[in-house]
Structures are given as C-alpha cells and as structure tokens.
Amino acid sequence: MSAGPLLALSGISLLAALLAAWRAPRIWLAATLSGSLAALAGSVRVLATGAGWDWPTTVPLGGETLHLRMDSLSAFFLALLAVLGGAGALYSLGYWTDREHPISAPRGRVWWALLTSGMGFVLLSANGLHFLIAWELFTISSYFLITSERQRTGARSAGWLYLAASHAATLCLFAFFASLAAATGSWELGPLRDQPSLAPLFWLALFGFGVKAGLFPLHIWLPSAHASAPSHVSAILSGMALKMGVYGLYRFTGWLPLPDGAGWVVAALGTVSALLGVAFALGQHDIKRLLAYHSVENIGIILMGLGFSMIAVTHGQPAWGRLALAGGLLHVWNHGLFKSLLFFGAGSVIHATGERTMSRLGGLWRAMPWTAGLFALGAAAIAGLPPLNGFISEYLVFLGLFDAASARGPAFWAAVPAAVMLAMTGALALACFVKVCGIVFLGAPRTDAARTAHEAGWLMRAPMLALGAACAAIGLFPSFFWPAVARASIDWRPDGAPGVPPAPLGTLGALNLCVGALSIVAIGGLWLRVKANGLHRGPTWDCGYASPTARMQYTAGSFAGIITGWFSGILRPQTTARKVEGLFPAEAGLESRTPETVLEYVVEPAGSLVMRAAGAVRRLQHGRIQAYILYLLLGVAALALLATLGGKP
C-alpha cells in the first residue's frame, strides 16, 4: 500500500479517536494505536523508497487550497511522532485512569488526539498558512494537557508561562511566513535557495522555532511545563513537541538561503545549550525537572550537528558536515526514545509513591525491578554509553567535529572547543544519572511512601519495554537505520547529504553487539549464581555508628554539590540552613535550591519594569475630560514640531 492511503487511514483513525475520547477509553486507545501504526507504515515506506508523497487538492481551508506533502525529512519526524503517540496513549490508560482522575482523564484524551493530529498536520503541510494553523492547534492542546491538574497553582503558572512563551514565538513565525509569502507571492512552501534576498528571514525562524525547541536561553517555559504535566504528557512534550521546533529549523535551513554567520550562531547556541542544560539538571532535586533540563542538553547536541553541517555547506566542505548532520538527525530519534522512556519511568515512580523529590525516595529497585531496570537502560542511553543508541549519534557528531578539526579549515577553532564541551556534557550527564539511579533506586527507603511502593502495571510497563528495545536496536544495528538518516539528509539539502555509511559505523555495530552479548552473559551468570547460592544480606558498614539510618545516606543535593559548585556563577544555587547551636541543640536543617536563572534574574525583572511602566501610564487615565483634551493638544504640538524639524534641510 502506498503512503497516501496509509495516511488517510491514519487520519480517519485519529478522527475516530477524537470522537471516542470522552466516553470510550478503550476504543480511543484502539483508534489511536491504529492511526499511529498507519502513520508509521506510511513514513517507513517513504523512508525506505525515498519516493515522497504529494497531495495537492482543490479543498479550500482558511482562504488557501489544502496541499499536503511528505518527503523523507518530514517522514523521519512523523515516524517518531507515531511511535511516541501510540506509546504515550497506551501508558496513559494505566497511569492516568478515569477512576483516579474522573475529570482530567477524559479531557486529556481529547487534547491528546488534537495534539498528535496537530503535530502530524504541521509535518505534512505544504502551505505556510496551514502550517501556522496546525502549529497553533498543537500549541493550545499542549497548554490544556500541561494544566491537566489545574487545581494546582504550579500547574496553572507553568501553563501560562508556556502559553506566553509559545505565542511570542508564534508572533515571530507569523512574521516569518507572512514575509515569505509577501516576497514570493504565495503561501506555498518549498525550496527557495536561489533567492538570496530571503536569507535574513532565517533569524525570525531561529527565534520562533528556537523557543519551541527549548534552546538555551529561550527555554524558560520548559522546566516548569514538563515538570507540571502528567508523565505521559511530559514524555510526548519532550520526545516530540520540542522536535517540532527542531523540524522547523531543519526544514527552513534546508529550503532557504543561509545568511552569513547562521551556522556559527546555531553551533554556538547548541554547544552552550548542551553544557548548561546538563549543569542545570545536576542542580535539580525534582526528578521530572531534572529530566526536563536534560531535554535542553539534548536539543543542544542536535543543534550542534545542524550548526556544523550549515557551516560545512556554507564553506563548501560537505565531507565532515555530513557526519555532523547525520549525528544530529539520528539524535532526534534517539532523544525521543530514551527521554520518553525516562519520563515513563519517573511517572511509574510517582504513581507508586506519590513523591517526586529524589531525596525522599530510595531503595525502589526491590519493589520496582522492571521500572528500575528500564530506567537504568534509558539512563545509560542518554549518557551516551555503548551499546545503546545515544552512543551512536553522539559518536557521529564527534566524528564530524574531529574531521572538521583535521581539515584545518575555517571551522577548526570552533570544532575543537565544541568537541571538548560535548565530551564534558557526556561526562556530566553520566554523573547526573548515577545520582538519579543511586538516590532513587538504591540504598534504603527514606520515607514510608518509598517503603510501600509497588511495581507499575503492564499497561505502563509495555511501552517502556518497547522504547527500551528500540534504544537497544538502534545501538546494536546502526547500519540498518542509516538509509533512513541518509534520505532525510538528502531532503534537507542535496549538497550536504551523506552517501554511503561512514566506515566506523559497521565496526561500531559489531562492537556494540559484542558489548551487548557480554553484558547479557554477565547478568545471566550473576543471576544464576544468586539463584544457586541465595542472596546474603549483611549490615551496612556504618563507620563506627551504632545505628545507621536511611537519613544518613547521600541526598541528591549532597551528591552533586561539588559539580554544581563549578557552575555556581550561572546556576546561582541558594542555600537555607538552620545551624546546630548550644550543648543540647534543637533540630537543624539544610535546604538548597537551584533557581531558574534566566527566568528569575532576567525575564521576571524585565517584566516587572514593564508592569511598573504600564502602571505609571495607567495613572494618565482618570476620567477628566479637560486632561484628555490637553493630551491631544500636546500630541498635536509634538507632531507639528516633528513635521517642522523634518522639513528643514
């Protein structure tokens, strides 16, 4: 079956899901999964053959004729949407049930159907006006999903911040598409690389899509939105909604001419995002907020790949740019898979304990072995450890940077520090997830909630297993997925597209297979030994204390204290302490917090100044007619003065 009928089937299934969402959750799930499978099949067909799908119609929509199109680049993103949309829908039926959330669960299913439909329409739209309509649809749907628990002040605040940031970005995108339509005389989208006058529009696209992608320092909405939403919503926001901004940047840097310096700016923003994203993550005590900051980090890695490939195309050195581009594109998929897996794992922990502060958990691996194992797998993947998928994409970006440095071209002085900072990012990500796994799953339970935790049900476990298997499959068989990456790259820009797979990719796959096989043998041998000899438990070495307690364990703050201190200049950690005083001291304590630096030290003071200025201007409105006449006279006099001065030679 060709891509057209499959996409039509997907659209009909999503419409059925929308109709069934309120009263029939099982039908909603069946229709959502059917739509996801059909969209995945259509995308895979385009990626496998390289033959795009084009459907111009005569159907008017908003004053423009509907035109849908899917090439390999949009299919690359649509396939990820299909996987995460289906996995999230399945997970939500076990995690966010009608019994526990009788109002927000049915409402959430409606918004989920609109969210996935809106994102799919963005990816297929070949008209700028329809692109904006679909963009707004999924933005509004995201807002209502983020505020599912609107009785909580934090959720409402996060929703409003998301809405404000999103609409600031939408204003830029409206200016971008309107300027594009004014310059070309049409809202139709397509390659316009031969019109250099359109190059300045790139900066509007960078801001508009950069806000949605969560690029530092435009990420101010991201941590609170991802932390406040239900976990299946956080998963699709991080795994897919951020990628819509990335898609916009890939799409229009491929279709439009590039202005001078654009690649350098994107590469620099990506590098800074990667390093500072993981630094902020280390300072977090809330498990979901920590994962949200890792999205900033991984979006940075993706944009490092895009930025350096733009530099390579601009300077006519596509050889190393192809590797960076392939690494960035593959990381789109990899981040979608392991970040959704991690949010599902965090959701299972919160569902079992009602707790999201890591230092109030501990010892969960005994009660939640499936969740602990799958979360550890996702943690290894996001830290870029072999034999998993994160290692492959980061390795490709490294190869591109090393080749750029070896070429001794104009990118040499940027590639070397970028490679060093990418290595630092990987090391800090590993430290961060050692902290999460150690504090949450190892040691002893710190609270009754952790002590009485239970394993997630199969509806929640099955999507985690599928995503974990996908992370392993890309890591073990990277050459199998290379043709899809190569075809998506060709539809980005033919002059920057990779051809044959890089030679190290096959070796890397074989090496990962060996590492995977050895890991399975080691785990199997350990399990057989434990089964034969039993598991002997002994008292914890207590350094001379007679009665160690769970409170003596490392906390999330103490574990990362030294590393966050290295970045204290930008993280600005805040500490509140009640010191020990007297011979018989009362209770003491120490609390630390890492603020949202950009939001609290830049955006909020600027917003406060604007509000004060607006308040001062409001005093001019007091209802006295004579004063209003005076304002008019002063205004006319000012205009007359300007006209007089302007008339002088």
Question: Which of the listed ranges 307-321, 366-380, 486-500, 552-566 does the model predict with the highest average pLDDT?
Answer: 366-380
- Burial label, 313 (beta-carbon count in 10 A; 0-12, 13-18, 19+): buried
**Secondary-structure breakdown of the chain: helix, strand, coil percentages, each rounded to the nearest 5:** 75, 5, 20
The reported pLDDT for the residue numbered 86 is 94
**H and E: helices and strands count for the chain:** 26, 4
3/634: higher pLDDT: 634
Neighbour count for residue 632 (Cβ, 10 Å):
10
Burial 499-518 (b: 16+ CB within 10 A, else e): eebbeebeebbeebeebbee
Q: Are 206 and 249 in contact (CB under 8 A)?
A: yes
- CA dihedral sign, ordered 379, 284, 246, 4: positive
**Per-residue confidence band for 71, with pLDDT thresholds at 50, 70 and 90:** very high
What six digits make up the tokens of 149? 């628990």
The reported pLDDT for the residue numbered 500 is 66
The reported pLDDT for the residue numbered 77 is 95
Q: What percent of the chain has pLDDT over 90?
A: 53
What six digits make up the tokens of 527? 């399990």
Compute the average pLDDT of residues 46-55.
88
- CA dihedral sign, ordered 429, 431, 433, 435: negative
List pLDDT tens digits, range 332-386.
999 999 999 999 999 999 999 999 899 888 889 989 999 999 999 999 999 999 8
What six digits make up the tokens of 500? 């044959």
Q: How far apart are CA 111 and CA 95, in angstroms?
A: 16
Q: Are 6 and 49 in contact (CB under 8 A)?
A: no
The reported pLDDT for the residue numbered 561 is 81
The reported pLDDT for the residue numbered 497 is 56
Q: How far apart are CA 294 and CA 334, in angstroms?
A: 13
List pLDDT tens digits, range 219-264.
889 999 988 899 999 999 999 999 999 999 999 998 999 898 899 9
The reported pLDDT for the residue numbered 126 is 92
The reported pLDDT for the residue numbered 582 is 80
The reported pLDDT for the residue numbered 600 is 86
The reported pLDDT for the residue numbered 495 is 67
The reported pLDDT for the residue numbered 647 is 58
Q: Which of 378-392, 467-481, 491-505 has the lowest mean pLDDT?
A: 491-505
Helix H or strand E encompassing 210: helix 201-213
List pLDDT tens digits, range 566-579.
888 888 888 888 88
Q: How far apart are CA 490 and CA 264, in angstroms?
A: 22
Compute the average pLDDT of residues 102-106.
91
Q: Which residues contact 623 (CB under 8 A, 6 or more apart)?
A: none
Backbone angles phi, psi at 173, to 5 degrees: -70, -35
List pLDDT tens digits, range 282-318.
888 899 999 999 999 999 999 999 999 999 888 887 7
373/551: higher pLDDT: 373
List pLDDT tens digits, range 138-167.
999 999 999 998 888 888 999 999 999 999
Compute the average pLDDT of residues 114-137.
94
**Per-residue confidence band for 125, with pLDDT thresholds at 50, 70 and 90:** very high
Do the bridges between strand 574-578 and strand 64-70 make them parallel or antiparallel, or are there none, so unpaired? unpaired
Backbone angles phi, psi at 355, to 5 degrees: -125, 135
List pLDDT tens digits, range 166-183.
999 999 999 999 999 999
What six digits make up the tokens of 63? 């004053």
The reported pLDDT for the residue numbered 498 is 57
What is the model's pTM?
A: 0.91
Compute the average pLDDT of residues 591-619.
86
Mean confidence (pLDDT) of the chain: 89
List pLDDT tens digits, range 610-646.
989 988 888 888 788 888 899 999 999 999 998 887 7
Q: How far apart are CA 472 and CA 386, in angstroms?
A: 9
The reported pLDDT for the residue numbered 139 is 93
Compute the average pLDDT of residues 61-79.
91
Compute the average pLDDT of residues 6-20.
92
List of long-range contacts for 407-411, beta carbons under 8 Å, 24+ apart: 407/317, 407/319, 407/320, 409/315, 409/317, 410/311, 410/315, 411/308, 411/311, 411/312, 411/315, 411/317, 411/320
**Angle, helices 318-353/389-406, rounded to nearest 10 degrees:** 150
The reported pLDDT for the residue numbered 528 is 87
Residue 648 has pLDDT above 60, yes or no: no
Q: Are 358 and 285 in contact (CB under 8 A)?
A: yes
List pLDDT tens digits, range 89-103.
999 999 999 999 998
Residue 34 has pLDDT above 90, yes or no: yes
